[in-house]
Structure 1
Amino acid sequence: MRDIIQATKEYVKQKLSAEVTGHDWWHIKRVYENSILIMKETADPLQREVVELAALLHDIADWKFHDGDESIGPRVAREWLESQQVHEKVIRHVCQIVKDISFKGAGTHNSMKSIEGQIVQDADRLDALGAIGIARTFAYGGFKGRELFNPIIEPKMHKTAEEYKSQQSTTINHFFEKLLLLKDRMNTQAAKKLAIERHQYMVEFLKKFFQESQHEGSHHYKLLSYYN
């Protein structure tokens, strides 16, 4: 299995090394390392190879870059794992994690079905928080051609995945619509602890942003009090 893990690392690195939205190889590497860290603090019995493979393949074909097609990620992951002759039971488990991992709106709750999936989902969400999360958010917003900030456009708590996918928002709104919600949606105790400091860093960044842009009286600034 170690050979398959190494081969998967090389495969993902080759596929995503030139990616510019913050979903690149270095994001994958951080999620992989966060997954290892969380595993070490998880008492539940688990399949280590499932966690490692799912962490490496979770963004191999993200629906956000494939016209909202949620089937493409699991399909590409399966094709790769089958080419490596991975056991079918492991393939099914990894592909289920890849399918379920994404955040799809404040009003949706896609619960992970296994401790392995919970670990990888937490590791992925940790990389959306803190200083790295801020940097990735602006990289993605620029790629999508989003307006940086518009005080007239208020954040929206999307009730369905379809609404979340189709809504064109601003980069600053993305913090309220997703990132500031993640701390309270972590699955594991280890990730919950790690998320606290990263979450607070984003809150302080946004406070500074609104102060410097002279929007301390805005609806956005007032919303921050709910996230402290």
Structure 2
Amino acid sequence: MTQEVGPLARTLSLPYYEDALPAHDRFHATRVRDLSVRLANECERPVQKDVLAAAAWLHDIGRPRERTGEIDNHDEWATAEAAALLEAEAVSSERISAITHCIRTHSIRSSSPEPESLEAKLLFDADKLDATGARGIVRLACIVGERSGKAGEKFAIIDDSSASETSSMDRPDITLLREWARERLDHLYTSPGRRLGKSRWRFMDEFFTRFESEIGVDGDR
């Protein structure tokens, strides 16, 4: 096979994102692809960038089905689906294995296996970094919206319980976004990922402090 697997994976993946909501759509896949390659360029060790790009395009193709309850685990489903798609295109079994390992291990869920290859670690980091910084704040809010739709009721209150009357409510507040971002940054595997994570966290920390000050809460508490 002479065709590069990265562009092929993009073509194969796009139909799966047609019904995706903003937090896990093709634009998220594009950002993860671009960011993972950026991190790869900063690595001292060689990286199979074509494998990495292909995995980035395919990593969330199961998200729309998981959201509607058609499947239980988008990681496992996408791993099997990607393998079948690539095999049908005569991609070598070695490359398929490398790509699907990245897909299988990209999630932060406790049930997800640990990424072992450098490409898998870079994909994991890029995916988590897309939930940090300025874009990350917007995306995390979109994820709250996705979960609210799936649950059939509000998943979280975008407020601070200490500054309002939400403290007695069962739903989490704005601190959930801070916790989600911090959790993702604490799990990053690569040095380039951690460096970028520090920069993005500084912005997020300033944002949440500003958010608290706008509703009358002492940001230094």
TM over 0.5: yes
Shift in Å at residue 21 of structure 1?
3.4
User: What stretches of structure 2 of length at least 5 have no aligned partner?
Assistant: 149-154, 162-166
Select 2:121's aligned residue among 111, 118, 121.
118
| Cα distance in 2 between the residues matched to 1:144 and 1:173 | 16
- TM-superposed CA distance for 1:153, in Å, is 7.3
With the length of structure 2 as denominator, give the TM-score of the two structures.
0.80
Query: Mapping of 1:176-215 within 5 angstroms?
Result: 176-215=178-217
Tell me the secondary structure at the aligned position of residue 22 of structure 1: helix
| One-letter amino acid of the counterpart of residue 137, structure 2 | I
Q: CA deviation at 1:49?
A: 2.5
Q: Which residue of 2 aligns with 1:144?
A: 147
Residue deviations 1:19-56 (CA, integer Å, cap 9, x gap): 22311111111111111111111122332322121111
- Superposition pairs of residues 90-105 of structure 1, within 5 angstroms: 90-104=95-109
SS in 2 for 1:121: helix
Deviation per residue, 1:47-76 (Å, 9 max, x gap): 232212111111111385255324212112
State the shift of 1:82 in Å. Answer: 1.4
Alpha carbons 1:141, 1:170 under 8 Å: kept? no
Measured after TM superposition, the shift of residue 199 of structure 1 is 1.1
Q: Give the percent of matched residue pairs that are identical in Structure 1 and Structure 2.
A: 24
In the aligned structure 2, how far is the partner of 1:169 from the partner of 1:99? 30
Report if the CA contact (8 A) 1:101-1:121 is conserved: yes
Two-structure CA RMSD over aligned residues (Å): 2.7
* Contact residue 133 and residue 201 of structure 2 kept, 8 A: yes
Superposed displacement of residue 100, structure 1: 1.2
More deviation, 127-136/18-27: 18-27
Amino acid corresponding to residue 132 of structure 1 in structure 2: R
CA contact (8 A) 1:141 1:148 kept: no
Distance (Å, rounded) in 1 between the aligned partners of 2:101 and 2:48: 14
> Is 1:75 the equivalent of 2:80?
yes
Q: Number of aligned pairs?
A: 204
Q: Given the superposition, is the C-alpha separation of residues 141 and 82 from structure 1 closer, same or farther in structure 2, using an over 3 Å criterion? A: same
**Secondary structure at 1:178 match in 2:** helix
AA aligned to 1:68 is D
